[in-house]
Amino acid sequence: MTTRFEHAYVINILSDDHPGIVAAVGNAVGHLGGNIDSCSQTVLGGFFTLIMIVSMPDDLETDALCEEVRRQEAGGSDLQVMARKMNGDDQSQAPETDRFIITAFGKDTQGVVLRFSRYLASKDVNIVDLFGKLSDGEFMLISEVDIPRRWNLNMLQADLEEMGSEMGFTVRLQHENIFVATNQLRLPARPGDKRGN
């Protein structure tokens, strides 16, 4: 992954949702002379979560980075901050993959996420983004996944459809490019994404 400076860190933050959290992290990184290289943030059930890849010109202790983020928070909230230094071992060799989107929707059934995730794990399919929502008894699941090129996509599609049918779900597997084109949207790059910044 490309970073502006030599020393890279991953920061994860959990907090009750309120304005100013991203600004606090930005202030902390800027105060330390660093740069935000990539980030992903969401709010779920009133809770805010953020993951960032930041780089620094100088090596520093992760505790110091976490403390600076907490110091910059002006909302009076007790942020849960975790930081980890990245190194070459974090960029392990992965099999050649292609990016796909799996969508599933149907009547809410216990164990939906578990069954799909367990199947994908058995095929070495990596989930890079996951969104699920329950509304009026209907559950929708959208997952962005990296599928190793060695797999037969027709077989995977058939397995997913059969699994969905057993639970009363409609399931579709689409290449990312087709999904984006048919839905007229652009998926954001994720931290560590091979597509770059």
What domains are there in the chain, each with its CATH number? Answer: 7-90 (3.30.70.260), 97-183 (3.30.70.260)
pTM: 0.75
Give the pLDDT score at 94. 64
Give the pLDDT score at 189. 54
pLDDT grade for 3, boundaries at 50, 70 and 90 = confident
pLDDT in tens, 101-144: 999 999 999 999 999 999 999 999 999 999 999 999 999 999 99
d(CA 43, CA 51): 12
Q: Which of 182, 5, 150, 18 is nearest to 85 (CA)?
A: 5
Residue 92 pLDDT exceeds 90: no
Give the pLDDT score at 197. 34
Which residues are CB-contacts of 15 (< 8 A; sequence separation ≥ 6)?
21, 47, 48, 77, 78, 79, 80
pLDDT in tens, 149-193: 999 999 999 999 999 999 999 999 999 887 777 776 555 555 555
